[in-house]
Amino acid sequence: PPSIVWFRQDLRIADQAAFARAAADGPLVAVYVLDDESPGDWRIGGAQRWWLHHSLASLSASLKALGGRLVLRRGRAADELFRLAQEVGAARVHCLAHYEPWWRAAEAELGERLELVRHQGRLLADPARVRTGSGTPFRVFAPFWRALQAIMPPAPPLPAPAEVLWHRQDLAGDDLRDWDLLPTKPDWATGFREWAPGEDGARSALHVFETGIEDYGERRNLPSTAGTSRLSPHLHFGEISPSTVWHTLAEERGAGPYLRELAWRDFCSALILQFPDYADADGRATLEGLPWRDGPEAQADFIAWTRGRTGYPIVDAGMRQLWHTGWMHNRVRMITASFLVKHLLIDWRRGQRWFWDCLVDADFSHNSVNWQWVAGTGVDSAPFYRIMAPLTQSAKFNAAGYIRHWVPELAELGDDQIHDPHGTRAAPADYPAALIGHREARERALAASASTRR
């Protein structure tokens, strides 16, 4: 009987253990199920649908070149997989282990109905192997990273199977074009063309980055330069494996700081495994009673934030970059998130959801863990009352070029004015007034947080 390879956020043929093992086993059927049901509120967001469309097209082409095809089905994944197994008479499904709560539930359910073989490959290491001395999972990054390093390097990447024996049966499958995954809003996604979704695009992004890795430690915080790898959407969709990234870069000079960032992916999954409701519930329950602003004025502020019209240039530049390209520089993600939560005193969960819909790299664990980290609610974060100063951050990390690019109204301003055009009385008439002054915002946030202290 054939076996089934179930593709999810692992849309590649190289170093794909589920695919490699199934190919070694005998005839196989490859399937991707578009499941908007199991994840509930966390179904794939708008920007990622665009990415998914192109990534699936790329994987389909790779499988076709190997003489087979990718069967596309839509519905509740566990049911669709079971149905397909019955159709083809398969008893075994190979997949890579995933850690989102709905995927774990789907894996458990399938495991009861047929033989599910879970392989490793989403992370650098199986989370079960990264434990404290007493065998418990970590909640703090630094010791997690030490323990992870002790079991590195990851297993060397597996080559893509050279030959595959396909199960020959005329199976029904959807046409990708009928899934309507591409964006419809006219001004959205204008910068998505910069991306090259798919396994080849992931490899070339890695090789481009490899030439500049030496400066990563120094440049990773500077939004005006292309100092980071921009591998995040490729890694999210599994178009390249973390092991491939590790083995390609580890010997390069200056790789240390980069590999440490890469380990954050593993850490985020480790937290989600311990706190499956981390996307909705405060990690420390310290701010559960915080009087978040809510109502028409807060709603208007929220909309101004999403559109990049807050009157804070660095925040506006970041939010516009997000809307147009589906990605935002990490330093600016921290600044814009902090601005929403502390300056505007709007619940972090609202910002997290906006990011979920707009990011091409939106990831359940990374997004939740990082939002909670910024908000000060995370198990591993600084307290709420540590408030980032956006104007100072903008100058410190030299964001002038970045602001000129994304906020063209300010393009003519000099370096001494562009970070704070209102304070330096240089703001042109078409640039929005600041939603709130920094000092006033700080006092409001501190008062709100004091009111929750027991």
Q: Which residues are at the interface with ligand FAD (CB under 6 A)?
A: 220, 228-232, 235-236, 261-262, 264-265, 268, 330, 333-334, 337, 355, 359, 361-363, 366-367, 370-371, 374
- The tokens describing 79, both together, are 């049911």
Give the number of other Cβ atoms within 10 Å of residue 113's Cβ: 14
Pick the closer one to ligand FAD by CB: 27 or 242: 242
What is the CA angle 109-111-116, rounded to 5?
A: 135
Pick the closer one to ligand FAD by CB: 192 or 431: 192
Pick the closer one to ligand FAD by CB: 226 or 411: 226
Pick the closer one to ligand FAD by CB: 27 or 318: 318
Q: Tell me how far, at minimum, the Cβ of 418 lies from ligand FAD, in Å.
A: 23
Q: Tell me how far, at minimum, the Cβ of 377 lies from ligand FAD, in Å.
A: 12
Q: Tell me how far, at minimum, the Cβ of 126 lies from ligand FAD, in Å.
A: 18
Rounded CA-CA distance 302/397 in Å is: 25
Q: Tell me how far, at minimum, the Cβ of 338 lies from ligand FAD, in Å.
A: 8
Pick the closer one to ligand FAD by CB: 92 or 234: 234
Pick the closer one to ligand FAD by CB: 81 or 124: 124
Burial class (CB in 10 A: 0-12, 13-18, 19+), 283: buried
Which residues are bridge partners to 115 per DSSP?
92
Contact 58, 11 (CB under 8 A): yes
Q: Tell me how far, at minimum, the Cβ of 219 lies from ligand FAD, in Å.
A: 10
User: What distances in angstroms separate CA 217 from CA 151, 206, 259, 348, 356, one per listed residue?
Assistant: 23, 16, 11, 29, 27
Pick the closer one to ligand FAD by CB: 37 or 261: 261
Torsion sign (Cα): 246, 358, 41, 449: positive
Burial class (CB in 10 A: 0-12, 13-18, 19+), 401: middle
Q: Tell me how far, at minimum, the Cβ of 118 lies from ligand FAD, in Å.
A: 22
The one-letter amino acid code at 214 reads: E
Interhelix angle 199-210/46-65, rounded to 10 degrees, is: 100
Q: Tell me how far, at minimum, the Cβ of 10 lies from ligand FAD, in Å.
A: 14
Pick the closer one to ligand FAD by CB: 94 or 350: 350
Q: How is the beta sheet containing 115-119 ordered, strand by strand?
A: 70-74, 28-34, 3-7, 92-96, 115-119
Q: Tell me how far, at minimum, the Cβ of 260 lies from ligand FAD, in Å.
A: 9
Rounded CA-CA distance 302/305 in Å is: 5
